[in-house]
A and B are shown apart, each in its own frame.
Chain A
Amino acid sequence: MDIAQLQAYGYFTLTIGLVLILYGYIYHLYSKKKDVDGVDYESYSNMALKDDIDDTPVASMSEDKAPKSAKK
């Protein structure tokens, strides 16, 4: 097989692969209400709505890293 043919097969496989991943992701989003961490997708909007430095994060990185001023 020459290089052009390899490129063509590679290209085709890549495109099909990407399409499958994209549609798989769409299916995942529509079939699940919550993501792997158990957080409801829609509650992620609160990351913008409640974004003061001492607001509680939607999902915290870790307890001890809460901002100093938040621990009143």
Chain B
Amino acid sequence: MENHPLEYDYTVAKMFMLTTIILGIVGMLIGVILAFQLAYPGLNLMLGEGLAEYTNFSRLRPLHTDAVVFGFTLSGIFATWYYIGQRVLKVSMAESKLLMFLGKLHFWLYLVVIVAAVVSLFMGITSSKEYAEFEWPIDILVVVVWVIFGAGMFGLIGIRREKSLYISVWYYIATFLGIAMLYLFNNMAIPTMFGVSDIGESGVGVWYHSVSMYAGTNDALVQWWYGHNAVAFGFTVPIVAMIYYFLPKESGQAIYSYKLSLLSFWALMFLYLWAGGHHLLYSTVPDWLQTMGSIFSVILILPSWGSAINMLLTMKGEWQQVAASPLIKFMVLSSTFYMFSTLEGPIQAIKSVNAIAHFTDWIVGHVHDGTLGWVGFMIMAALYHMAPRLFKREIYSKSLMTAQFWIQTVGVVLYFTSMWIAGITQGMMWRAHDEFGNLAYSFIDTVTVLHPYYVIRSVGGLLYLIGFFMFAYNIYKTMSARKVEESELQNATPMGA
């Protein structure tokens, strides 16, 4: 090899960092628009009647969910993998031309998928399955991207110097395998052009249209086995991977109990896959399956809190760091929100509670205390930790980061508290009846009552978005901030005033 010492190569991590930020902005901006549309329906026509097709709530909603899930979150997962993977395996991507090539190919093909997804969803092309809206041509491309991601991951593991795999790597592998299995099964579909209708016509429909291989109750079952585990392997497992690396690293503390991390890993894997039934309570799926979903959901508290408590205890005796560092604040709040949403989820999974919660805004509240508080905060913290190491510069501004932390925290709190009140109000009003069984309220009564809470949610979401812009700006300015020495990058991230 040449003279200069071997270094980790963060080229691909940088590329995915960029998409994390851009798609985060896009997804959350659409989220805020959706929130205001629910409060002020006139906004569905914000660009006039002519463009209403593109600006209405229904068209934008899947764009929001897919942009934040498959754009922001997934990019964050990739960016951190291409950073953590090399470090804990102690091998640089620069050592293998093939891995470098796979990494870049992974990025560019991913970008193609994103563009195809955004364009097709804007055009209204969808398979109408939540979180699986992409039509089959895009699905095939998704599979290719995923296989390349996996090949790169196992390739890097194959040339590692560290014999054992750090716990985060276990979680990344689980993410890869879990999503591979789920995505394939749920997206099984037959293009309509291959079908023959009842009256014998063939080549029906547009070439990119398809129908699911499953029908009726089976479709619901497969969809929510997927949907729930998309939460598991997209919003939980890889985020745990991140916090198990970044929190110990940033604080300089060893994980409170490495054994507990291994134990929670297997317990989480064992339990999560059975809990999907809680999305289908009181539906047409078999009763035993609903009960099983409820029970596994409640037990799921154990491994979830196992990981979260392990993280909080890592900070034992070091709480002054939480006060001193906004970056650690982000991570500690993130694991707190993880505990919070994994307590809330099991409660909502209890049948009698779900009877009130299902179809209401309480679910939306649950979704966003998980995603904004846990997923969003952790991904931003990860990028804040990585940026100085990627650019060899200090974080541009610590005070900006602190301000962002508080603004976004207020945003999340406004979001979920308003949705709790709205959701429970909705649930109670829908079921209220008089002594003869006549419903006490009509649907529009609930809409009127909910208006103020929708406004509060919109404001909360807007605050979170503003915080995200502050984050993007801080990272952008970091690229030209003060240069730092390697020695300053050991643990606590260097930050400018």
Binding site for B on A (CB under 8 A): 18, 22, 25-26, 29-30, 37, 39, 41-42, 44-49, 51-55, 57-61, 65-69
Contacts and interface: CB of A to CB of B under 8 A. Distances in A.
A29 B248 CA distance: 22
B303 to A, nearest CB: 10
B104 interface: no
Given A57-B90, A58-B162, A22 B254 contact: no
Contact of B160 (A30, A48, A55, A61): A61
The A interface is mostly helix, strand or loop, or mixed, namely: helix
Given A49-B248, A60-B163, A25 B266 contact: yes
B259 A47 contact: no
A52 B259 CA distance: 24
Contact of B166 (A22, A26, A44): A44
Given A45-B258, A57-B90, A68-B6, 7 more contacts: A49-B248, A51-B90, A53-B90, A58-B164, A59-B163, A60-B162, A66-B161
Contacts of A67: 6, 90, 161
- Bin the interface of chain B by size: 20 to 34
Given A49-B248, A69-B5, A69-B6, A41 B166 contact: no
Interface of B: 1, 5-8, 87-88, 90, 92, 160-164, 166-168, 244-245, 248-249, 252, 254-255, 257-259, 262-263, 266-267, 270
A47 B261 CA distance: 14
Contact of B88 (A18, A48, A54, A60): A48
Contacts of B245: 48
Contacts of B263: 25-26, 29
A65 to B, nearest CB: 6
B379 to A, nearest CB: 18
Contacts of A61: 160-163
A26 B264 CA distance: 10
Contacts of B270: 18, 22
A22 B245 CA distance: 25
Contact of A44 (B90, B167, B249, B267): B167
B164 A39 contact: yes
